[in-house]
């Protein structure tokens, strides 16, 4: 089982990942002899409180993709009973373990205010749509965590 072990940072359990266009999108770009955007490397926070994963808008801009869906979303700032409608983007998340990259097809949100620091080094939230494929061990006293997946 691939495994990532890392220190718990001031943000929490953070890992380095890559985000790429979906296989469907890649096939269409290749069909039209257009360049496939390179995968975007970013740091993401593992968040068991989020049902779905999300990334900051520049990540999607770098991949040259627009949304393919719209879903209702509740957030800490939405009024109860009044979710906001949010765009969903079709992407592939790659989690690294050594030299191995495991792809996780995702339908991810765009979000804009991670710690209200648009130029910070965190540009993703990995929610339970990813964690449902993983084993997460939070070793608080040791200030590290382990993330494994099949």
Q: Candidates 11-19, 50-58, 94-102, 136-144: pick the segment binding another protein (CB under 8 A).
A: 50-58
When asked if residue 66 is in the footprint of another protein (CB under 8 A), the reply is: yes
Distance of CA 45 to the CA centre of its chain: 8
116: left (phi over 0), alpha (psi -120 to 50) or beta: left
When asked if residue 71 is in the footprint of another protein (CB under 8 A), the reply is: yes
3-state secondary structure of 142: helix
Smallest gap from residue 140 Cβ to another protein (A):
19
Max Cα distance, the chain (Å): 53
Q: What residues between 129 and 148 interact with another protein by CB under 8 A?
A: none
Residues 42, 11: Cα–Cα separation, whole Å? 14
Residues 13, 136: Cα–Cα separation, whole Å? 10
Dihedral sign of CA atoms 119, 121, 127, 129 in order: positive
When asked if residue 27 is in the footprint of another protein (CB under 8 A), the reply is: yes
3-state secondary structure of 12: coil
When asked if residue 90 is in the footprint of another protein (CB under 8 A), the reply is: yes
Nearer to another protein, 1 or 82 (CB): 82
Smallest gap from residue 75 Cβ to another protein (A):
5
When asked if residue 70 is in the footprint of another protein (CB under 8 A), the reply is: yes
Binding site for another protein (CB under 8 A): 22, 24-25, 27-29, 31-32, 34, 47, 49-52, 54, 57, 66-77, 83-87, 90, 107, 109-114, 125, 127
């Amino acid at each position: 089982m691939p495994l990532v072990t890392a220190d718990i940072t001031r943000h929490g359990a953070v890992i380095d990942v890559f985000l790429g266009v979906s296989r469907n999108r890649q096939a269409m770009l290749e069909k039209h002899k257009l360049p496939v955007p390179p995968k975007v490397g970013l740091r993401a926070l593992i968040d068991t409180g989020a049902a779905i994963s999300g990334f900051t808008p520049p990540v999607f801009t770098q991949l040259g993709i627009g949304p393919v869906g719209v879903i209702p979303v509740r957030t800490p700032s939405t009024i109860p009973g009044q979710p906001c409608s949010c765009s969903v983007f079709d992407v592939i998340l790659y989690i690294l373990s050594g030299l191995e990259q495991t792809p996780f097809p995702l339908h991810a949100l765009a979000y804009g205010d991670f710690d209200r620091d648009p130029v910070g080094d965190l540009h993703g939230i990995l929610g339970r749509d990813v964690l449902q494929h993983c084993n997460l061990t939070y070793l608080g006293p040791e200030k590290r965590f382990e993330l494994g997946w099949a």
